[in-house]
Amino acid sequence: MARPGARNLITDTPGLLVGQAEDAGARTGVTVLYPEARAVCAVDVRGGGPGTRETDALAPDTLVEAVDALVLAGGSVYGLAAADGVAIDRAPGEDQ
């Protein structure tokens, strides 16, 4: 079993950058996980009405081998749109 990091936080993970923003007045926020290098990713979608974006691309029978970032957001379509800025920022082949 893996041992927890010094603070037992996701930010203890080497090679993983974490960004977070929130709007307390609107009761919404977003967390972005940026691996310093592309990372293998998997997903398990559950619930009666999940809102996801591009999770089908993570199935083992697709051509996607790794991801550039992971966005965790709520708020239905508005939360899904939060990934747009991340996708632009992490566009493959662009200077970062």
**pLDDT 10s digits, 7-60:** 999 999 999 999 999 989 988 889 999 999 999 998 888 888 888 888 899 888
> CB-based contacts of 56: which residues, under 8 Å, 6+ apart?
62
> CB-based contacts of 55: which residues, under 8 Å, 6+ apart?
43, 45
pLDDT of residue 86: 81
pTM for the full model? Answer: 0.77
